[in-house]
Amino acid sequence: MISSLFSRFAVIGSLTILGACSQSTTDANYVPSDSLPNYSQSSFQQYVDETKQWLTEHRIFKSNNLEKELSVNLPFEIKPNKPNGKGVLLVHGLGDSPFSFIDVAQHLADQGYLVRSILLPGHGSKVADLMLPSLEDWQNVVHHHTQLLKAQTDKVWLGGYSTGANLVTSEALKDDNIAGLLLFSPAFKPGSSTVKFAKIASYFVTWADQDPETNPIRYNSLPMHGAAVYYDTVKVVQQDLKGKKYTKPVFMITSEGDHVIDTTFATSVFKNQFTNVKNHLVWQGENTFPANNATTFSMNRPDLKIVDGSHMGLLFSPINPEYGKNGAVRICSNGQTEEQEFACEEGADVWFSAYGVKEKGKIFARLTYNPYFEQSMEMLDHVMSEK
């Protein structure tokens, strides 16, 4: 899974030095499309409709339920029953899909916001399409749909997960009209410093990681080019943040057990550069976060068979049908032995954690939901309120 990839870059760096050849395959998942879909339509509905048509023609489907797979990979809009005149644009992470924000989006719509979740170019179709986008593609789709939403609402908030958090933070730092930021596992700095070599490595190695593509909601593999464009977002957001104070409200949620990102860097930015009095950090971990505007939730939850928080386990409600407590999707690629992974896939009794956690006598699956989702959303609401 992509959330494990950055821990492998030390090995990839060694392969690059040795001049390793790119892997080759005839599997259609690993052959890129001829082009990327358009994302600059004049209306959001046209964007959804044309993206659906493009994905229908280019996606490698993982099941016979084509409509369901399309629905979880398409950009979506949720209109509130009682509009408050404000909007929220949500941007997913590397290898993910708009579905990442389905539970957060519904919550925000219930509060009166017009909510849209977009698809970053290269996603939703087949993993080889992550060989195609540039940094500018990702920046431009965020900027374009921010402007579309601004034209239809009085105020716009931007929200992002992981790579998406980098993109929306840079956009907000350049646009003083953005009302504030909602940041989930912000990937301002990767957990492994070797990710910075991804662009160089891409000339020698096609794939940072290549696994069977079985998940209908996100990619399991990652082309080196995709990792390189992610790192481009890191360089940009760090430059945009350098020496800056951001005075608009910020909600941030991150996990102590997350080794995909450098949580120390992200939380340092929160403490020292995000200055609004309404800011709030939700910290999942055992060491209480040392700030008055932070709430710490323990992830030592044997009652739920949870031992640690994860990079992706912040976005989803426990009742999410795919990733919730009893969800249909179980992610067993979690840094354990092949025997343990196979047992997990065969339905063995498992514990849940971030990638790479190992304890004697336990088989682990990735924690894919937030046991404190409702409490976290209450804190998000407070940050966004005008009281």
Task: Specify the length of the chain in residues.
Answer: 387
Judge whether 345 lies within some domain: no
Structural domain total, the chain: 1
First and final C-alpha spacing in the chain = 41
The H or E element that residue 202 is part of is: none
Please report, in tens digits, the pLDDT of each residue of the chain (387 residues total).
445 455 444 334 433 333 334 444 579 999 999 999 999 999 999 999 999 999 999 999 999 999 999 999 999 999 999 999 999 999 999 999 999 999 999 999 999 999 999 999 999 999 999 999 999 999 999 999 999 999 999 999 999 999 999 999 999 999 999 999 999 999 999 999 899 999 999 999 999 999 899 999 999 999 999 999 999 999 999 999 999 999 999 999 999 999 899 999 999 999 999 999 999 999 999 999 988 999 999 999 999 999 999 999 999 999 999 999 999 999 998 888 999 999 999 999 999 999 889 899 999 999 999 999 999 999 999 999 987
Judge whether 333 lies within some domain: no
Amino acid identity at 125? S
Judge whether 365 lies within some domain: no
Judge whether 159 lies within some domain: yes
- The enclosing domain of 50 has a CATH number of 3.40.50.1820
With contact defined as beta carbons under 8 Å apart, do 356 and 7 qualify?
A: yes
Identify the domain containing residue 119 by its residue range: 2-299+372-384
Judge whether 266 lies within some domain: yes
Judge residue 273's burial from the number of C-beta atoms within 10 Å of its C-beta, 0-12 exposed, 13-18 middle, 19 or more buried: middle
Q: What is the pTM of this model?
A: 0.94
What single DSSP character describes residue 190?
Answer: B
Q: Which among 112, 114, 102 is positioned nearest to 151, based on CA atoms? A: 114
With contact defined as beta carbons under 8 Å apart, do 283 and 289 qualify?
A: yes
Judge whether 337 lies within some domain: no
Judge whether 33 lies within some domain: yes
Judge whether 67 lies within some domain: yes
